[in-house]
């Protein structure tokens, strides 16, 4: 069974919770006890209708204030797929949560209010989906009932959105625009009779039919740990465990260990007690190799035929995620794969305004929720790929050595 | 056709869980698996065996024992420990009651569920555990849906829901200060159905109470409570024998039975696919208030 990961982002009034609630409701994914609990809570709050946001706003503070603060994960199945929705808030002060929610998504669902059209928030959501190179973007033009299901209103927004998408760098994304009314369930799970002019699929059908995006990039496997049982049946066994970030490995392949540069050959690929001739991206495996060379956590295994560059000076987009601003004089820990080394930002090239899509010369230190392009150096060379070539090996996080917080996420240029 | 597809376990979730378990082993000095004897922690044990094969699982099992367990669960636990050769460490809630660190609840709905937190935190501290792997899933409850895979707890075991570290891509940041610890949830993204499909595909043994059996129960507000020494019974309440099974393994005092004749994994999976009530709908501990889970987690619960 496939797992398909969706990112949604939005604010209180754009109908996002209603849309998700509808999808769950119509796929029989809300159980009666949860529905009754929402009913009781809606009544207590004095709301006349079923407030489906209570389903996803899991924290007391969120329910009290009626806002989504943190990313929630929502699960549902149809007979075709298992879906995981990462639902995040949409305002500018939650940009970091949006990026978190979007970080593993295969599809971004962006809501646009049919009455308001493309607004600042649409720019931000789309910029993030574009920066992260999410393979599919589905734009739901919502509240079509409030514009009398008029084709002209939809066509204007669709054309505005496509103009917006032409301004951004990643043109590989597949974009689909759908007119919906989440309140009335139009074009969510079935074609709406009220919009006969729309010939496309309803949202759920689309989510079920979109092909799982093909993985990109060469074989990269960050080593998590070495497995040395030293028991009687496996006295000399030495395996290297990790999850394959990208690419494919076959028994017999010549490999190189980075950063040391030593080479060997794969003798077996284990998954539990089973051996397999080949393994692909996203699989957790243990490899054994022909030679007794030093390999430990932090190293990366690559195929000799597909060597990445090893660099200590980098250029990347980063999103700052900590309440303490970036301190240019301070060194941070960078984690790339399973490697952690010291890193120092040497220059902030520009700050990206996600509302106007302009690049701004930085006036002050990089603050929480700001996205910037920076140059930085690392204490050891890293076997990184550019994010556009290999998304799985093109990201990193920065950690504050003193607070231990994850302070930034980055994408190698 | 339709139902068969729902009965397939998404293998990607196993790869993800094994990755998380290996990160826990690599990033912490003294991790342990929190083991309740329920299906989720049994799944964790299997995943840990796979993660380190052919090496040994480098964690002990820690059971926070309320003394109100189903006897079948304890029998199962001891059998699993013997079969796997894993170390079992037991923290007894009774010890905290005897030492007067906590007081028993009284009355009709009394349960030791809340008391477990004190025992759990004391056990973590005395064993100097820096990471505890648990079988909690995000689909169980709305506060759990907000929790990280590596969830940092402060020196007092507390969860700060509004101040969690962002988790991006596959990166898990387990750096902590002395005294802090991390709860690790490898099957965060699994649903109840995923767990059952996995148990069937992996042919895992589970305690007998998950399967349909005859048991004395008390019917209370339409809910079937297993009758035992741990439950308060009003004079006018009647004990009757019914054919039931359990969807979750909690204490005998807070886990409701489900009228069911499902006696094979196949039948249980059919039942889970067809049900209209959520798994934790049968847990009295969650029904106490809308924010019962968040409030318990904030002070250190599983």
Q: Are residues A337 and A408 in the same domain?
A: yes
Q: Are residues B61 and B27 in the same domain?
A: yes
Chain A nearest-CA distance from B186, in A, is 13
- Please tell me the distance from the alpha carbon of residue A317 to that of residue A327, in angstroms, as a whole number: 17
Closest partner residue to A283 among B5, B15, B171, by Cβ? B15
Q: Are residues B8 and B49 in the same domain?
A: yes
Q: Are residues A245 and A366 in the same domain?
A: no
- For residue B141, which residues of chain A lie inside 8 Å, CB to CB? 58
On the CB side of A244, CA atoms within 13 Å amount to 26
Q: Are A314 and A289 in contact (CB under 8 A)?
A: no
For residue B1, the model assigns a pLDDT of: 38
- For residue A237, which residues of chain B lie inside 8 Å, CB to CB? 54
CATH code of the domain containing A404: 2.40.30.10
Q: List the domain range (segments joined by +) for residue B273.
A: 208-286
Interface test with A, best of B130, B162, B166 (most A CBs within 10 A): B166
Q: Residues A128-139: pLDDT tens digits?
A: 999 999 999 999
Closest Cα in chain A to B15: A284
Number of domains in chain A: 3
- For residue A73, which residues of chain B lie inside 8 Å, CB to CB? 138, 145, 188-189
- For residue A80, which residues of chain B lie inside 8 Å, CB to CB? 5
A171 interfacial to chain B (CB closer than 8 Å): no
Q: Are residues B125 and B228 in the same domain?
A: no
Last residue of a domain, one of A178, A209, A240: A209
Angle in degrees, CA B286, B290, B294, rounded to 5: 70
Q: Are residues B137 and B222 in the same domain?
A: no
**DSSP-assigned beta bridge partners for residue A4:** A83
Last residue of a domain, one of A306, A333, A365: A306
Q: Residues A264-306: pLDDT tens digits?
A: 999 999 998 899 999 999 999 999 999 999 999 999 999 999 9
A103 to B168: CB separation less than 8 angstroms, yes or no: yes
Q: Are residues A224 and A174 in the same domain?
A: no
What average pLDDT does the segment A378-404 reach? 96
A397 to B13: CB separation less than 8 angstroms, yes or no: no
Angle in degrees, CA B128, B129, B133, rounded to 5: 170
B146 to A72: CB separation less than 8 angstroms, yes or no: yes
Q: Are residues A239 and A203 in the same domain?
A: no
Q: Are A124 and A14 in contact (CB under 8 A)?
A: no
For residue B2, the model assigns a pLDDT of: 45
For residue A50, the model assigns a pLDDT of: 67
CATH code of the domain containing B77: 3.40.50.620
Q: Are residues B6 and B104 in the same domain?
A: yes
Closest partner residue to A225 among B2, B26, B139, by Cβ? B26
Interface test with B, best of A1, A64, A86 (most B CBs within 10 A): A1
B29 class by beta-carbon count within 10 Å (0-12 exposed, 13-18 middle, 19+ buried): exposed
For residue B59, the model assigns a pLDDT of: 95
Residue linked to tokens 């004749």: B261
Band (A11; pLDDT cuts 50, 70, 90): low
Q: Are residues A243 and A347 in the same domain?
A: no
For residue A13, the model assigns a pLDDT of: 67
A404 to B23: CB separation less than 8 angstroms, yes or no: no
Complex ipTM tops 0.85: yes
A397 to B173: CB separation less than 8 angstroms, yes or no: yes
% residues pLDDT > 90 (chain A) = 70
CATH code of the domain containing A170: 3.40.50.300
A283 interfacial to chain B (CB closer than 8 Å): yes
Q: Are residues A25 and A139 in the same domain?
A: yes
Tokens (6 digits) for A69 = 């603060």
A3 to B13: CB separation less than 8 angstroms, yes or no: yes
Q: Are residues B130 and B174 in the same domain?
A: yes
Q: Are residues B220 and B96 in the same domain?
A: no
Q: Are residues A48 and A186 in the same domain?
A: yes
Closest Cα in chain B to A37: B290
Chain B nearest-CA distance from A406, in A, is 6
Q: Are B18 and B50 in contact (CB under 8 A)?
A: yes
Q: Are residues B189 and B251 in the same domain?
A: no
Q: Are residues A336 and A318 in the same domain?
A: yes
Chain B nearest-CA distance from A271, in A, is 8
Looking at the domain assignment, is residue A339 inside a domain? yes
Q: Are residues B233 and B277 in the same domain?
A: yes
B171 to A397: CB separation less than 8 angstroms, yes or no: yes
Looking at the domain assignment, is residue A335 inside a domain? yes
Q: Are residues B138 and B273 in the same domain?
A: no
In chain B, how long is the greatest CA-to-CA distance?
A: 58
A75 interfacial to chain B (CB closer than 8 Å): yes
Last residue of a domain, one of A256, A277, A306: A306
- For residue A37, which residues of chain B lie inside 8 Å, CB to CB? 290
B142 interfacial to chain A (CB closer than 8 Å): yes
Looking at the domain assignment, is residue A214 inside a domain? no
Give CA separation, A30 vs A181, B3, B226, in Å: 20, 18, 27
For residue B56, the model assigns a pLDDT of: 93
A243 interfacial to chain B (CB closer than 8 Å): yes
B298 interfacial to chain A (CB closer than 8 Å): no
Q: List the domain range (segments joined by +) for residue A269.
A: 220-306
Q: Are residues B56 and B194 in the same domain?
A: yes
Looking at the domain assignment, is residue A234 inside a domain? yes
Q: Are residues A264 and A386 in the same domain?
A: no
Q: Residues A317-376: pLDDT tens digits?
A: 999 999 999 998 899 999 999 999 999 999 999 999 988 889 999 878 899 999 999 999
Number of domains in chain B: 2
- How many A/B residue pairs have CB atoms within 8 Å? 165
Q: Which of A69, A78, A150 is nearest to A115 (CA)?
A: A150
A404 to B12: CB separation less than 8 angstroms, yes or no: no
For residue B287, the model assigns a pLDDT of: 65
Q: Are residues B141 and B76 in the same domain?
A: yes
Q: Tens place of pLDDT for every residue, chain B, 302 residues?
A: 344 678 899 999 999 999 999 999 999 999 999 999 999 999 999 999 999 999 999 999 999 998 889 999 999 999 999 999 999 999 998 998 998 998 888 877 778 888 888 999 999 999 999 999 999 999 888 888 888 999 999 888 888 888 889 999 999 999 999 989 999 999 999 999 999 999 999 999 999 999 999 999 999 888 898 988 887 788 888 999 999 999 988 888 888 899 999 999 999 999 988 877 777 666 666 666 667 777 777 777 77
Q: Are residues A285 and A315 in the same domain?
A: no
Q: Are residues A379 and A288 in the same domain?
A: no
- For residue A63, which residues of chain B lie inside 8 Å, CB to CB? 290
B277 to A409: CB separation less than 8 angstroms, yes or no: no
Asked if the model's pLDDT at residue A390 lies above 70, the reply is: yes
């Amino acid at each position: 069974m496939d797992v398909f990961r969706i990112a949604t982002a939005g604010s209180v009034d754009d109908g996002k919770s209603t849309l998700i609630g509808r999808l769950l409701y119509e796929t029989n994914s809300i159980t009666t006890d949860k529905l009754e609990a929402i009913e009781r809570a809606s009544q207590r709050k004095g709301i006349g209708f079923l407030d489906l946001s209570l389903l996803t706003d899991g924290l007391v503070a969120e329910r009290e204030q009626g806002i989504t603060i943190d990313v929630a994960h929502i699960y549902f199945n149809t007979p075709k797929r298992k879906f995981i929705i990462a639902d995040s808030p949409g305002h500018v002060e939650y940009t970091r949560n949006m990026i978190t929610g979007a970080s593993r998504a295969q599809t971004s669902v962006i809501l646009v209010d049919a009455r308001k059209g493309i607004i600042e928030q649409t720019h931000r959501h789309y910029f993030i989906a574009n920066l992260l190179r999410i393979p599919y973007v589905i734009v739901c033009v919502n509240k079509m009932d409030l514009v009398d299901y008029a084709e002209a209103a939809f066509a204007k927004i669709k054309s505005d959105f496509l103009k917006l998408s032409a301004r951004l760098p990643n043109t590989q994304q597949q974009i689909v625009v759908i007119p919906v009314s989440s309140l009335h369930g139009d074009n969510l799970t079935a074609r709406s009779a009220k919009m006969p002019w729309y010939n496309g699929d309803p949202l759920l059908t689309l989510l079920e039919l979109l092909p799982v995006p093909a993985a990109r990039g060469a074989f990269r496997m960050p080593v998590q740990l070495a497995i040395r049982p030293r028991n009687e049946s496996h006295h000399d066994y030495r395996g290297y465990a990790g999850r394959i970030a990208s690419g494919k490995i076959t028994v017999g392949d010549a490999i190189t260990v980075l950063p040391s540069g030593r080479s060997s050959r794969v003798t077996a690929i284990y998954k539990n007690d089973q051996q397999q001739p080949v393994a692909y991206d996203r699989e957790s495996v243990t490899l054994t190799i022909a030679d007794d060379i030093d390999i430990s956590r932090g190293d990366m295994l690559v195929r000799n035929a597909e060597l990445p560059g090893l660099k200590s000076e980098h250029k990347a987009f980063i999103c700052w995620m900590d309440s303490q601003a970036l301190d240019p004089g301070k060194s941070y820990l960078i984690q790339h794969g399973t490697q952690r080394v010291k890193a120092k930002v040497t220059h902030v090239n520009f700050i990206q305004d996600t509302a106007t899509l302009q690049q701004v010369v930085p006036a002050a230190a990089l603050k929480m929720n700001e996205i910037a392009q920076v140059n930085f150096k690392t204490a050891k060379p890293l076997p990184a790929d550019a994010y556009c070539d290999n998304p799985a090996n093109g990201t990193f996080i920065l950690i504050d050595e003193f607070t231990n917080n994850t302070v930034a996420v980055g994408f190698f240029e | 056709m339709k139902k068969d597809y729902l009965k397939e376990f998404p293998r990607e979730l196993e790869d993800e869980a094994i990755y998380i378990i290996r990160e826990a082993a690599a990033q912490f000095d003294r991790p342990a698996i929190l083991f309740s004897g329920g299906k989720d922690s049994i799944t964790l044990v299997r995943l840990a065996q796979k993660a380190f094969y052919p090496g040994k699982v480098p964690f002990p099992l820690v059971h926070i024992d309320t003394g109100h367990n189903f006897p079948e669960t304890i029998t199962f636990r001891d059998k699993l420990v013997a079969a796997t050769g894993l170390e079992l460490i037991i923290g007894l809630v009774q010890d905290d009651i005897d030492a007067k660190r906590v007081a028993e609840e009284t009355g009709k709905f009394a349960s030791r569920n809340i008391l477990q937190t004190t025992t759990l935190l004391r056990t973590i501290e005395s064993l100097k555990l820096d990471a505890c792997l648990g079988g909690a899933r995000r689909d169980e409850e709305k506060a759990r849906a907000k929790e990280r895979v590596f969830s940092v707890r402060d020196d007092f075991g507390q969860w700060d829901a509004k101040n969690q570290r962002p988790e991006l891509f596959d990166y898990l940041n387990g750096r902590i200060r002395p005294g802090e610890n991390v709860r690790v949830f490898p099957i965060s993204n699994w649903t109840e159905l995923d767990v059952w499909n996995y148990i069937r595909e992996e042919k895992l043994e589970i305690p007998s109470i998950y399967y349909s059996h005859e048991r004395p129960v008390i019917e209370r507000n339409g809910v079937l409570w297993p009758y035992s020494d741990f439950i308060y019974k009003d004079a006018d309440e009647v004990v009757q024998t019914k054919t039931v099974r359990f969807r979750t393994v909690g204490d005998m005092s807070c886990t409701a039975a489900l009228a069911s004749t499902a006696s094979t994994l196949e039948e249980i999976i059919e039942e889970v696919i067809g049900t209209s009530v959520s798994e934790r709908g049968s847990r009295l501990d969650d029904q106490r208030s809308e924010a019962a889970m968040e409030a318990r987690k904030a002070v250190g619960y599983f």
